[in-house]
Copies of this chain bind each other. A is one copy, B any other.
Amino acid sequence: LSTDRLQVAVLGASGYAGLELLRIVLRHPRLELAAATSEQRAGQPVGEAFPSLRGLTSVRFEALDAAALAGRADVAFSCLHHGTAAPAVTTLRKAGVPVVDLSADFRLRDLAAFEQWYGPHKAPELFGQAVFGIPELHRAELPGAGLVAAAGCYPTSALLPMAPFLRGGLVEPGPVIVDAKSGVSGAGRSLDEQYLYAELAENVKAYKVANHRHVAEMEQEASLVAGRPVGVTFVPQLLPVIRGIATSVYLRPAAKLTTDDARAVLEEAYRGAPFVRVLPAGETPSLQAVRGSNFCDVTAVVDARNGTLVALAALDNLVKGAAGQMVQCLNLMREWPETLGLLEAPLVP
C-alpha cells in the first residue's frame, strides 16, 4: 500500500454534507483536500467560514469551475443539488475524473421516473450510467467504477433493513411501509421557518406524506433486490435532532418467521459488511449509538400475533446517509480497505 494521497475536490462543500466530507477527508490517510467549492463563500478560507475547522486546513472555498478542477483533482465528491450536479459531473467524467455524486441526478434508472420528481434531466447522456451507491447492495460493481450515485439518506435507512427480506422472497408482495424520522440536518442549511430552533425543538411533524421523492429510489432498489415490483408507502417525519434517521419498515412475512429467524436473515446478509451492525436480540437501534459514525444499526422483530415483520434501522444521515457512504464507495472503487478513514467511534454521549 503506497502512502501517496489522492487529491480530492469537494463540490458544494459548504452545505452540511459537504462539511462532513471535509471532516472525513481531513482525517483519511489516503486523501488530501485539494479544492472545496462554494458559490456563496468563494474566496473565504474554509477555517474562517466554518470556525470549527479553524486551524485544520488552509484550503479556501472557490467558485465551481468543473473543467479547471478536472486538472487538479484525482477524484471528486459532489454535494451539489440535483440539476446543478449533472453538468459538473459530466465535465469531470469526460476528463476522466472518478466522481461520487450525492445528488439525485444519477441515482435512478428510469428517466421518466426521474423527470416526474425532478424535471428535465441536465445530462441525459450519463443518465443510468452510475453505480447506485449503497455498497452493501452493490459492492461488486464498485471496484473501478467511474461514477457512483450515492444513495439518499432516507433510502439508505430504509433499504438496509428491508433488502435482506425482499431478496429471499421472505415477505409477501404488497406495499412496504416505511415510517422514517429524520434529524433536521437532512434539510441542509435551508432558511425556512420550520427549521428554526423555536419551531422545531420539542416538535415532531410528518411532511410530504406518501409524496416524498426519495420513494422513487426506494422502489427502484427494493424492486431490484426483490426481483418484482415493490411499492413503498413512505412517511417522513422531522425530528428535533441535528443528526440521525430512525426508520421503521413494516413487512408481511410470506411464511412463518420468528424474531430469531428474522435476525438470522439480517446477520447472514451483513456478514462481512463492516458498517452494518445487526443488534443482539432485545436491543433496538438508536441515533445515539451511530452519531458521527458510518454505522447503520439494524434489527428485526416479528409480531407473530399479527403477522407483521418490523425491521428497524438507525444511521447518521450526514455520514452513512451522505459523506461517509461516499467515502466508503471511494474506498471500494479504489480497492482500498472499506473502512479506511471511517472507523471513528460514534460521539457518545
Which residues of A are interface residues toward B (Cβ below 8 A)? 16, 19, 22-23, 26-27, 48, 50-56, 175, 177, 179, 181, 183-185, 189, 191-193, 195-207, 209-211, 231-233, 235, 237, 239-244, 246, 248, 250, 274, 277, 279-280, 283-293, 295, 297, 301-303, 305-308, 310, 312, 314, 343-349
Interface pair A290/B52, CB less than 8 Å apart? yes
**CB-CB < 8 A to A181: which residues of B?**
181, 204, 237
Q: How many copies does the complex hold?
A: 4
**CB-CB < 8 A to A241: which residues of B?**
201-204, 240
CB distance from A61 to the nearest CB of B (A): 16
**CB-CB < 8 A to A293: which residues of B?**
52
Residue in A183, A195, A240, A274 with the greatest tally of chain B CB atoms within 10 Å = A240
CB distance from A228 to the nearest CB of B (A): 14
Q: Choose among B205, B280, B291, B348 the residue that contacts A246 (Cβ–Cβ < 8 A).
A: B205
Interface pair B198/A248, CB less than 8 Å apart? no
Interface pair A301/B210, CB less than 8 Å apart? yes
Q: How far is the CA of A210 from the CA of B231 in the complex (A)?
A: 24
Q: Choose among B55, B199, B209, B274 the residue that contacts A312 (Cβ–Cβ < 8 A).
A: B209
Interface pair A206/B23, CB less than 8 Å apart? no
Interface pair A191/B189, CB less than 8 Å apart? no
Q: Choose among B52, B207, B242 the residue that contacts A202 (Cβ–Cβ < 8 A).
A: B242
**CB-CB < 8 A to A286: which residues of B?**
51, 203-205
Q: A233-B308, A235-B310, A306-B231 are in contact. Are A284 and B197 (CB under 8 A)?
A: no
Q: How far is the CA of A244 from the CA of B201 in the complex (A)?
A: 12
Q: How far is the CA of A303 from the CA of B233 in the complex (A)?
A: 7
Q: A233-B303, A305-B231, A312-B209 are in contact. Are A184 and B203 (CB under 8 A)?
A: no
Interface pair A201/B242, CB less than 8 Å apart? yes
**CB-CB < 8 A to A280: which residues of B?**
48
- What are 26 A-B residue pairs whose CB atoms fall within 8 Å in the complex? A16-B198, A19-B348, A23-B345, A27-B345, A51-B283, A52-B289, A52-B348, A55-B277, A55-B295, A175-B308, A179-B179, A181-B237, A184-B196, A184-B197, A184-B198, A185-B349, A189-B196, A191-B196, A199-B288, A202-B244, A204-B239, A205-B285, A231-B306, A240-B241, A250-B250, A292-B347
**CB-CB < 8 A to A232: which residues of B?**
306
CB distance from A91 to the nearest CB of B (A): 29
Q: How far is the CA of A288 from the CA of B54 in the complex (A)?
A: 13
Q: A242-B197, A248-B206, A312-B206 are in contact. Are A303 and B175 (CB under 8 A)?
A: yes
Nearest CB in chain B to that of A198: its residue: B349
Q: A193-B189, A209-B301 are in contact. Are A50 and B203 (CB under 8 A)?
A: no
